[in-house]
Amino acid sequence: MSNEDEFYDAVTGLDSDESYEGVSEASFKDALVFEGGNQKNNGSVPQENGIKKHRESLPAPMFSRNSVSIWSILKKCIGLELSKITMPIVLNEPLSFLQRISEYMEHTYLINKACSLSDSIERMQAVAAFAVSAVASQWDRTGKPFNPLLGETYELIREEQGFRLVSEQVSHHPPVSAFHAESLTGDFVFHGSIYPKLKFWGRAVEAEPKGTITLELLKHGEAYTWSNPFCCVHNIILGKLWIEQYGTVEIVNHSTGDKCVLNFKPCGMFGKELHKVEGYIQDKSKKKHAVIYGKWTECMWSVDPQAYEAHKKSEKKGDNKKHKNEEPEGAENDDADDMPDVQETVSVVPGSTLLWRIDSRPAHSAQMYNFTNFAMSLNELEPGKEAILAPTDCRFRPDIRAMENGNMDEASQEKERLEEKQRSARKERARNDEEWSTRWFQMGTNPHTGSQGWLYTGGYFNRNYQDLPNIY
């Protein structure tokens, strides 16, 4: 499938309600529903051993993207801000970016593990593994999430994994999504706001991470902060789409001074570094205690720094002999950035400890937008939930619902209607000299970094949803 037939965004979900001439288009979720802090049995969803079962497939497979030419759209938009280009809905995946953010929580067990550990270096190892796992679902996810409407929300409660999450689209231009997750047993809080900056390089789109992510381990009185790596989607005009994550991620424990520096490596000339992550953990005196290594698409390990260095020296000698007479292979298509052959296994250093391994995707994932099992259930709307969820929840978006059901014409029409409704509402506020007011998040100062960000003000799970905007 050529990249004239697909579009990028594995990260941002950026879209627009702005139309330019020639551009616009014509859980495990718990079996208990939390209401005001009380647990209320739904009783109408499948159960297995007392645990809520979630769907393992979408209602319909994804549509072919063969009929869409990205270049025919982009060539008319030279000089325009990329985030303001309205893309054909066939290039989307049936999730809102707010739902995509909730995929950070797929491996919540790593946070729970960190909470249970008594040693701060071991806790940092678990937190580092969680930070890497949070971007793992982006692997091969070349469909773009729907850009959330201003005021849109999403909630996710997973009793089995021990957390609940709420997110809100707090700004439209620039698009900013704020989220807040908390342990059901009071062990942790995980929050942040995401507003990536896009750069268009002709063949690729790069998303620069903006916004700080904060994890608080309440039992230990610790707060960790970091930002996500860069994400680049190659071949948006021609060739096979492929995704690369790169850049330095610095995780800081603001209580102990411990730091983990992770290097998401670019693939390099021979593709040897594709997907690789390598870094170290040091204390406040800059003494290195552990090396972290692996692949963000596969697994992460921890080992003693001296053992790692000795292994790398031995490995380097072997590579020099192996590649001494090798010449770089020519690309099959000089107009495309061909993805290197993926080396799926990580060379494990003797004495290493496994920190995290990715879950296998369902066998039919390729026909379902390359969704993980976790992602497959995020837009599920169980019987009886309509009366409990906030009316601004993503699950009620008619364009996403229609796309999920395989009705692309209806999805496209609904998306245009919602964007026009959002434009009209903005113009009405401007006429009345009214400012948009967020409901569940407010701008404030992150006490650990001193930077400004969107902080949860509480109250969402009290289920008082009066006076919410009518956005759908």
Q: List the beta strands (DSSP E) in 254-310.
A: 259-264, 276-282, 288-295, 299-303
Does 470 map to a domain?
no
Residue range of the domain that includes 118: 3-322+333-459
What are the backbone dihedrals phi and psi of residue 274, each rounded to the nearest 5 degrees, phi first? Answer: -55, 125
Mean pLDDT over 447-453 rounds to 92
Residue scoring higher pLDDT (421 or 206): 421
Does 327 map to a domain?
no
346 half-sphere exposure, CB direction, 13 A CA radius: 24
Q: How far apart are CA 305 and CA 349, in angstroms?
A: 11
* Closest by CA position to 18, among listed 145, 151, 174: 174
Cβ atoms within 10 Å of 159's Cβ, excluding its own:
20
* Two structure tokens written together for 151: 């005021």
Does 43 map to a domain?
yes
Q: How far apart are CA 74 and CA 178, in angstroms?
A: 29
Q: Tell me the CATH number at 400.
A: 2.40.160.120
Q: How far apart are CA 374 and CA 352, in angstroms?
A: 28
- Torsion angle of alpha carbons 455, 460, 466, 468, nearest 10°? 50
Does 468 map to a domain?
no
pTM: predicted TM-score of the whole model, two decimal places:
0.83
Counting the structural domains of the chain, the total is 1
Does 467 map to a domain?
no
Does 57 map to a domain?
yes
Does 472 map to a domain?
no
* Closest by CA position to 246, among listed 228, 260, 261, 234: 228
* Closest by CA position to 11, among listed 128, 239, 175: 175
| Average pLDDT for the chain | 83
Taking only the tens place, the pLDDT of each residue in 86-145 is: 667 877 899 999 999 999 999 999 999 999 999 999 999 999 999 999 999 988 888 889
DSSP lists the bridge partners of residue 132 as none
Residue scoring higher pLDDT (370 or 323): 370
Quote the percentage of the chain above a pLDDT of 90: 61
Mean pLDDT over 39-44 rounds to 40
Residue scoring higher pLDDT (20 or 269): 269
Quickly state the pLDDT bin for 51 (edges 50, 70, 90).
low
* Closest by CA position to 464, among listed 447, 440, 433, 434: 440
226 contact partners, CB below 8 Å, separation of at least 6: 131, 212, 213, 249, 250, 251, 252
Quickly state the pLDDT bin for 8 (edges 50, 70, 90).
very low
- How many residues are present in the chain? 472
299 half-sphere exposure, CB direction, 13 A CA radius: 14
Does 214 map to a domain?
yes
